[in-house]
Chains A and B, each alone.
Chain A
Amino acid sequence: MEKKKLLEVEGLRVSFQTHGGTVQAVRGVSFSLHEGETLAVVGESGCGKSVTARSIMRLIPEHIGRITEGHIRFQDKDLTALTEKQMRELRGSQISMIFQDSMTALNPTITIGEQIMEGIIRHQKVSRQEAREQAVETLKLVGIANPESRLKQYLHQFSGGMRQRIMIAIAFVCRPKILIADEPTTALDVTIQAQILDLFKRLQEQTGVSIIMITHDLGVVAKIANRVNVMYAGQVVESGAVRDIFYHPQHPYTRGLLGSMPRLDSERDIPLKSIPGTPPDLFAPPQGCAFAARCEYALEVCGRYQPETTTVCERHRVACWLQDPRAKNIWPQRDEATG
């Protein structure tokens, strides 16, 4: 399914000026998003996945955060070169974002209807009546019963799952090309999570929207994603189709992530595996591979030089020295299924 590239991120670097110095939150991230696909971005807290997403929306906090290098191509525009005003035209209409905590991400003192409708009114030349009809339509689409009466209600009158559906409705009301979801299911309980993920799938089937799903939950990835970017310390260390990542992980970090997932068939009294150590300090990123300090397979070269990104097969790419021909005999080959 070789579809058209919708979004292409190339060598993106983002840094923040803080009192403690400059944090390099994103350090040269490249990936592309195709029409109608779901790309999952996984990684632990602080690995730069949210910052990458916000960079696409150009929503990194002004004053302190800055895209220092790289390009974000969407359709025929470079989003990093657009003015704030041009960017506002795209936000909500072409690219939308769904935030993690629907309790705080919605305004408590404005009706849900108004919060949905203002996006329509902002981007389309329609009357309030038409905007209301579209809002009702979208609420139906995301599975909210009695949308007409629900429009007049406030945030606190909805349950957690309902609130997340409303967040999705707000993001989706102008039928954007790209939906960026920043951990949309993290604050929800498991049954609601499944419903929300189904909703994403259904929206994609019906409208062909491309989704960037930021998550640290590999269960979510397995359920919804076509492709996966594994991020570590502000870089994409491995990317590929879901089955490649789950069944043939190449990067030791990806293996670590998969290995630290609880399994239904494992012995009860065996403690969960974890990756020892903590991610590197992004005020002063290490010279070589960022994962080297925690990697059980680390070679001497890993601490000195950044690994190149190599292609394993098709669109499965990995940045690791173990891929180098000279290291082949150390690395357990890809016959060993982990997932």
Chain B
Amino acid sequence: MASFVLRRFISMVITLWLIVTVTFFLMHTIPGSPFQRDGRESNETVIQNLMAHYHLDQPLSVQYILYLKSLVGLDLGPSISHYPDTVNNMIARGFPVSFQLGMAALLFAIVSGIALGTVAALRHNKIIDYAAMVFAVIGIAVPNFIVATVLIKYVAVEWKLFPVASWGTWKHIVLPALALATGPLALIARMTRANMIEVLNQDYIETAKAKGLSPAVIVCKHALRNAVLPVVTLLGALLANVLTGSFVIEKIFAVPGMGKYFVDGINNRDYAVIMGTTVFYSALLVFLMFLVDVAYGIIDPRIKLHKREG
């Protein structure tokens, strides 16, 4: 187990370095600079001095080395457009909010998605199955900002069940989390259903029936565990998706999360913020993948064997 974790960790670091490198050079190919935008005229010497301050006058390779150096020290650098704010500070402020929202959404998506998928599979080709799958297709097809506006219009404005456009109590999380959860929920439901139908046709389910076990025990103990395995693989990507995909939702519900900084960073060509948020999210994603791999080994004992052999 230890050598497996170590190997996964090393490949995680290499992946991150590749992401940093590619993002860094791609970002600098975008025309424009942090100090020349909106056609505004600025003093030439001021710009020269600013460029020098942020090392932007140096060759790209030198900038790259400098960036890697500060990155190793976990310093994402100062924000160019929001002096004297640092990227580290921005993430420290914005991420907990985005994280809270994302986790709430994901938790809801997992629980309801698996439940919906299981019920659909058990009533395969019955009316409940069709209803659940129509709902799932809608959930995947309709963008979450439309779900968000519908929720605001009815749940918040007309029925006044939950507040919007502020942040503070748990009530403020409900609507953005719901809007954010629809896509993943639908995805999980479809996946659970497909896997469940397959698993229920496996021979070991018949063995379980032959033992005289009740349908509830068979589904919960023998089928569900095997059916949600692929869903677990998906979780890392889904969590990252929910966290990063919340930009629009955060904007609509005025949630003070990380999405705001990221979008502003791109608009302002704020190199440090773009790099910082990208690296942060990448690191998060890669780390989640790593966790999922380890979790997979715990849920499915067969994976351990291959590790020992390999």
Q: Does A128 contact B (CB under 8 A)?
A: no
Residues of chain B from 200 to 241 with CB closer than 8 A to chain A in the complex:
202-204, 206-214, 217, 221-222, 225-226, 229
How far in angstroms is the closest Cβ of chain A from B213? 6
Residues of B near A122 (CB, < 8 A) are 211-213, 217
Main secondary structure of the interface of B (DSSP, over half): helix
Contact of A105 among B206, B213, B221, B229 (CB under 8 A): B206
Residue in contact with B210 in the complex, picked from A89, A91, A107, A156, CB distance below 8 Å = A91
How near does chain B come to A214, taking the closest CB pair, in angstroms?
Answer: 14
B5 at the interface (CB under 8 A from A): no
Please state if B212 and A154 are interface contacts (CB–CB under 8 Å): no
Query: For A123, what are the chain B residues with a Cβ–Cβ distance below 8 Å?
Result: 212
CB of B62 within 8 Å of the partner chain:
no
Q: Does A92 contact B (CB under 8 A)?
A: yes
Give the size range of B's interface with the partner. 20 to 34
A109-B301, A154-B301 known; A118-B211 Cβ under 8 A: yes
| CB of B198 within 8 Å of the partner chain | no
Residue B305 CB within 8 A of the other chain:
yes
Contact pick for B225, options A92, A97, A109, A157, CB 8 Å: A109
Shortest beta-carbon distance from A11 to chain B in Å: 25
Could you tell me the distance between the alpha carbons of A203 and B212 in the complex, rounded to whole angstroms? 22
Known: A99-B203, A154-B302, A156-B305. A107 touches B222 (CB 8 A): yes
A224 within 8 A of B: no
The residue of chain B having its C-beta at the shortest distance from the C-beta of A171 within the complex is B210
> Which residues of B sit under 8 angstroms from A59, Cβ to Cβ?
206, 209-210
Minimum C-beta distance from B62 to chain A (A)? 53
Partner of B212, one of A90, A105, A107, A167: A90
Is residue B299 within 8 Å, beta carbon to beta carbon, of the partner chain? Answer: yes
**When the two chains form their complex, are residues A104 and B204 in contact, meaning their CB atoms are under 8 A apart?**
yes
Query: In the complex, which of the residues A89, A108, A118 contacts B302, with contact meaning CB atoms closer than 8 Å?
Result: A108
Residues of chain B within 8 A (CB-CB) of A97 are: 210
A96 to B209 Cα, complex, angstroms: 10
Give complex CA distance A220, B203 in Å: 23
Contacts of B75 in A (CB 8 A): none
Residue in contact with A101 in the complex, picked from B203, B208, B229, CB distance below 8 Å? B203
- Closest B residue to A104 by beta carbon equals B203
Answer whether residue B57 sits at the interface, using C-beta atoms and an 8 A cutoff.
no
Q: Within the assembled complex, what's the spacing in Å between the Cα atoms of A99 and B209?
A: 12
Give A residues with C-beta under 8 Å from B. 57, 59, 88-93, 96-97, 99, 101, 104-110, 118-119, 122-123, 154, 156-157, 167, 170-171
Cβ contacts A to B, 24 pairs, < 8 Å: A57-B210, A59-B206, A59-B210, A88-B212, A88-B213, A88-B214, A92-B210, A92-B211, A99-B206, A104-B203, A105-B203, A107-B204, A107-B226, A108-B204, A109-B229, A119-B211, A119-B213, A122-B211, A122-B212, A122-B213, A154-B302, A156-B302, A170-B211, A171-B210
* Supplied contacts A110-B221, A156-B301, 13 more A-B pairs, CB within 8 Å: A99-B207, A101-B203, A104-B203, A105-B203, A106-B207, A107-B207, A107-B208, A110-B225, A119-B211, A119-B213, A122-B213, A157-B305, A170-B211
- B: residues with CB less than 8 A from A are 202-204, 206-214, 217, 221-222, 225-226, 229, 299-302, 305
